[in-house]
Amino acid sequence: MNALQSVPLNHYILLSAMLFAIGVIGVLVRRNAIIIFMCIELMLNAVNLLMVAFSAHHGDGSGQVFVFFIMAVAAAEVAVGLAILIMIHRNSKTTDIDFLNKLKF
């Protein structure tokens, strides 16, 4: 069962760091608010992957339960965020964040 002995723990940390950095770059580069949401999901997933790896390494299931809660919070966040985006698009006909920099319509 412990066939994972060949993969070092550092490589999991590297993979998560790269996914997280790609998410940060996406948030900084793109102007479409929906793509920015997707990059935030990517960052959450990087953290989830690292938490599962550490949970498996320590033999403690609490980390995986925590990932479960992160998924619930992410689902709630996406539902509310996309509702806000639909409302913004209905009022201003755009999802461009450079247009939405005044905290009002």
Partner 1 sequence: MTQYAFYFLAFVSILCALMVVFSKNPIHSVLYLVLTFFSIAGQYLLLNAQFLAVVHIVVYSGAIMVLFLFVLMLLNLNTEAEPQKSTWLKFAAVISGGLLLITFVASLKGSENMALVQKNPEIGLTANLGKILFNEFALPFEISSILLLSAMVGAVMLSQKEKEAKQ
How far is Cα 4 from Cα 95, in angstroms, rounded to an integer?
A: 44
Does 92 bind partner 1 (CB under 8 A)? Our answer is: no
Q: For the stretch 61-97, what's the b/e string if a residue is b when 16 or more beta carbons lie within 10 angstroms of its beta carbon?
A: eebeeebeeeeeeeeeeeeeeeeebeebeeeeeebee
Region 43-72 residues binding partner 1, contact defined as CB under 8 A: 45, 48-49, 52-53, 55-62, 64-65, 67-69, 71-72
Size of site (CB under 8 A) for partner 1: 76
Given candidates 28, 101, 103, 105, which one binds partner 1 under the rule CB under 8 A?
Answer: 28
Does 80 bind partner 1 (CB under 8 A)? Our answer is: yes
